[in-house]
Amino acid sequence: MAYGGSMVDLVKKFFFIFAYFFLIFSISPSTLADEKAWYENTEINGDVRLRYEGIYKKPGHDTDRERFRLRLGMKSRVNESIDFVMRLESGVQDPVSSNQTIGDNFSGKDFGIGRSYIDWTINDNANIYAGKMKLPWIRPGGGSLLWDGDLNPEGIVMFISNERLFMNTGVTVIERSSDNSTSLFSFQGGGNFTLDNSAKVKLGYSVFKYNHAKGNQPFYKSKGNTLDGLGNYLNDYTIFELFAEYKHELYGMPVTAHLDWLKNNEASDQDTAYSAGIKLGSSSKKYGREFSYTYHDTEKDAVIGAFSDSDFAGGATDSKGHFIRARYGLMENVRVGGTFIISKYGLASGSEIDYNRMQLDLEMKF
């Protein structure tokens, strides 16, 4: 699927201009909330995670480290329809990780803006995110085949939904330059269904079109994608996704199963990825128990490696393997957990490497 660069740029500019004026002229004085002190309309939240991590490679060297993650968020009501959301995070130099490694002679750690966006509720069925936002796209089963959960895109996305149907569409900016900016156009749509046994099913379809990826430097890091002789992306990326999610209860315990399939229409081969998984229980409350298993198989150019899961196979594409996770609600707002990743990468290149990872976590939120 090919698109003219000038036409894509024109559409992108029109999208931003339209959204800007739509926001400005749709807000009337009648939408303003009663005047209150800012702190009366503001919620503060945050979380801290302490982690021991072991990485075991063959061939290669085994490593272990202690890490932490700190996130401090704020949500403030601007008026009856608009909220401002901000979050400060540790480790903001990496787009898909807020972790910081303990050590380095007691030196200070990176801490900066992870999110800063408005959430405008147009009506009961539509809202808009604009700015550096939380991940706006549906991830079936909370999986990370295409998007790491720590990713915070920058741009504008509109959501429309009712009880049965949903969709979102938008444009996010990846790199800005005077001659060849890179952006991402996104669309997701689908439906929610309730079966006779009260189980809930979500079926959906996505298109993610990267503008000006081919011939440009990798976004952050290549993470397994095919590069040309100059170290630039060899392929463009127009990723089509089909996904399904099933939710039900088993003996009073929540159960979620999912399937996710992806294909990059711009690559001639090594263009497909899929995952399947199941989660039993929930650890969100005291004494809650949770177990999950997911299988990933990602070919070399199926996704942009820089934005997919940063823990699985060292964050690389051209990989496959297993996620196994267990969590337990130790007390209110505190849980412990363990994640075990058994994976391989370098499959297509012929230099296969076993990459296994163990993570033991203590998480607290407020």
Q: What are phi and psi of 16, to 5 degrees?
A: -65, -45
Q: What are phi and psi of 346, to 5 degrees?
A: 80, 30
Q: Which residues of 106-127 are buried (b: 16+ CB within 10 A; e: fewer)?
A: eeeeebeebbbbbbbeeeeeeb
Q: Which residues pair with 279 in a beta bridge?
A: 256, 292
DSSP 15: H
- Full-model pTM: 0.88
Q: What are phi and psi of 98, to 5 degrees?
A: -105, 15
DSSP string, 263-332: EETT-SSS-EEEEEEEEEE--SSTT-EEEEEEEEEE-TTSS-GGGS-SSGGGG-SSEEEEEEEEEEEEET
Closest by CA to 311, choosing from 196, 118, 70, 149, is: 149
Name the token pair of 215: 């011939």
First to last CA, the chain: 47
> What is the mean pLDDT for each group of 10 consecutive residues in the chain (366 residues)?
51 59 53 63 96 94 95 96 97 91 89 96 98 98 96 98 97 82 96 94 98 92 94 97 97 96 97 98 96 98 97 96 98 98 92 96 97
What is the CB-side half-sphere exposure of residue 54 using CA atoms within 13 A?
8
Q: 25: part of which helix (H) or strand (E)?
A: helix 5-26
Report, in angstroms and rounded to the nearest whole number, the Rg of the chain calculated over CA atoms: 21
The widest CA-to-CA distance across the chain, in whole angstroms, is 65
- pLDDT at position 56, please? 96
Name the token pair of 234: 């060899």
Query: What is the distance between the alpha carbons of residues 159 and 169, in angstroms, rounded to a whole number?
Result: 7
Query: What is the distance between the alpha carbons of residues 38 and 155, in angstroms, rounded to a whole number?
Result: 26
Closest by CA to 315, choosing from 151, 155, 174, is: 151
- pLDDT at position 159, please? 99
What does the pLDDT look like over 228-284, one tens digit per residue? 999 999 999 999 999 999 999 998 899 999 999 999 999 999 999 999 999 999 999
Contact 191, 232 (CB under 8 A): no
SS3 41: helix
Complete domains list, the chain, with CATH = 5-28+40-365 (2.40.160.10)
Query: What is the distance between the alpha carbons of residues 327 and 147, in angstroms, rounded to a whole number?
Result: 22
- pLDDT at position 110, please? 87
Our CA dihedral for 97, 98, 103, 106, rounded to 10 degrees, sits at 150
Closest by CA to 84, choosing from 120, 39, 60, is: 120
- pLDDT at position 350, please? 82
SS3 18: helix
